[in-house]
Amino acid sequence: MRIALGADHAGFALKEHLKRFLAERGVEVLDLGTDSEASTDYPDWAALVASAVARGDAERGLLVCGTGVGMAMAANRHRGVRAVPANDLFTVGLARAHNDANVLALGARILAPAHAEAVLARFLETPFEGGRHERRVAKLDGVDS
C-alpha cells in the first residue's frame, strides 16, 4: 500500500512520527510536506494529498493539522476523496467499514503519538464492507446506483 502524507505546521511533528511508524511496517510513503514547523496554510497540503489519492498515486492519504477538521474539510472538496477527521478507534473503524474513507485527518493537538499510531493502524487495517454501503458511498460523488 502507498499512502500520501501531508501536514501543516501544527501537524508537522506528528506527521514525521507517523511517517517513521509507517516505514517500520513496510508501508510506502509519499511525503508531500510540509517540511518544517514554519507557519503554512492547511488547504495547500490537503489539496496535494487529496489530488494524489484522487489520481491513484496513493491508495490512501494521511493529513495532520491541529484538529484534523480543517484538513478533512479541504480534502473533501476533491471528487473521489472521502476524508474523515477521526481521533478515536470507533470512528475511524466505521469510517473505513461503512464509508470507505480513503483519507484520514488527525489532530496533532488532540492525540498523543501512541494513540495516533493506533488510529492510523485501524484506518489501514479495516476493510470496506461493501454491500449496502456501496450504493451510499457512490452517492457521495453524485453516482446513483
On whether the CB atoms of residues 104 and 92 are closer than 8 A, the answer is: yes
Q: Which residues are catalytic?
A: 65, 98
* Cα 75 to Cα 84: distance, rounded to the nearest angstrom: 9
Please give, one letter per residue, the 3-state secondary structure of the chain: CEEEEEECCCCHHHHHHHHHHHHHCCCEEEECCCCCCCCCCHHHHHHHHHHHHHHCCCCEEEEEECCCHHHHHHHCCCCCCCEEECCCHHHHHHHHHHHCCCEEEEECCCCCHHHHHHHHHHHHHCCCCCCHHHHHHHHCCCCCC
